Structure 1
Amino acid sequence: MTSYSLPTQVIFDQGRHPHAKIGFVLLATEQTIEDDMRLLLPDEVGCHFTRAPIPDSITVETLTDLGSSLGDAARLILPDGSLDVISYACTSGSLVLGEEQVYAELSKGAPKAQKTCIIASVIKALRAVEAKKIVVVTPYLDSINQMEDDYLQASGFEVLDIQGMQLEKDSDMIRVSPQFIVDYAQRFDSPDADAVFISCGALRSIEVIDQLEQALGKPVITSNQATAWDTMRMAGVMHQLLGYGQLLAQH
Structure 2
Amino acid sequence: MTDVLGWRALFGVVAPSTNTVVQPDMERMRPDGVTNHVSRIWVEDPYALTNEDFIAGTTAIAQNTLDAVRSVMTCKPDYLVLGMSAVTFYGGVDGARAWKAQVQEVAGVGASTGAESVAAALHAYGAKSVSFVSPYYPVANAEVRRFLEESDFAVKRDVPLQCRRWTDIAKVTPDRLDAVIDHLDGDDVDAIVQVGTNLSMVDIAARHEARLGKPVIAINTATYWHALRSFGIKDRISGMGRLLAEF
TM above 0.5: yes
Task: Deviation per CA, 1:74-114: give whole Å up to 9, x if none.
Answer: 1111426x422113211112113632332243235411x11
Say whether residues 1:152 and 2:148 are aligned partners. Answer: yes
Distance in 2 (alpha carbons) for counterparts of 1:250 and 1:204:
22
Partner SS state of residue 71, structure 2: coil
Equivalent position SS for 2:45? coil
> Is 1:27 matched with 2:16?
yes
Partner of 1:69: 64
2:28 corresponds, among 39, 56, 59, to 39
Indicate the larger mover: 66-75 or 185-194. Answer: 66-75
Q: Which residue of 1 aligns with 2:81?
A: 87
Whole-Å separation in 2 of the counterparts to 1:107 and 1:225: 21
Alignment of 1:121-136 (within 5 A): 121-136=117-132
- Aligned equivalent of 2:51: none
- Maintained 8 Å contact 2:83/2:113: yes
Q: d(CA) in 1 for partners of 2:68 and 2:116?
A: 20
Q: Secondary structure at the match of 2:72?
A: coil
CA contact (8 A) 1:71 1:108 kept: no
Match of 1:101, as an amino acid?
A
Shift of 1:223: 0.6
What amino acid is aligned across from residue 45 of structure 1 in structure 2?
Answer: V
Find out whether 1:100 has 2:97 as its counterpart. yes
Q: Are residues 93 and 13 of structure 1, via their aligned partners in 2, closer, same or farther at CA, if it must alter by over 3 Å?
A: closer
Are the counterparts in 2 of residues 129 and 219 from structure 1 also a CA contact under 8 Å?
Answer: yes
Segments of 5+ residues of structure 1 without an aligned counterpart are: 1-11
CA distance in 2, matches of 1:164, 1:91: 14
Greater Cα radius of gyration, structure 1 or 2: 1
Q: What SS does the corresponding residue of 1:77 show, helix, strand or coil?
A: helix
**Unmatched 5+ stretches in structure 2:** 49-53
Go from structure 1 to structure 2 and tell me whether the alpha carbon gap of 1:13 and 1:133 turns closer, same or farther (over 3 Å shift).
closer
Give the aligned length. Answer: 238
Map of 2:180 onto structure 1: 184
- On the 8 A contact 2:88/2:96 being kept in 1, the answer is yes
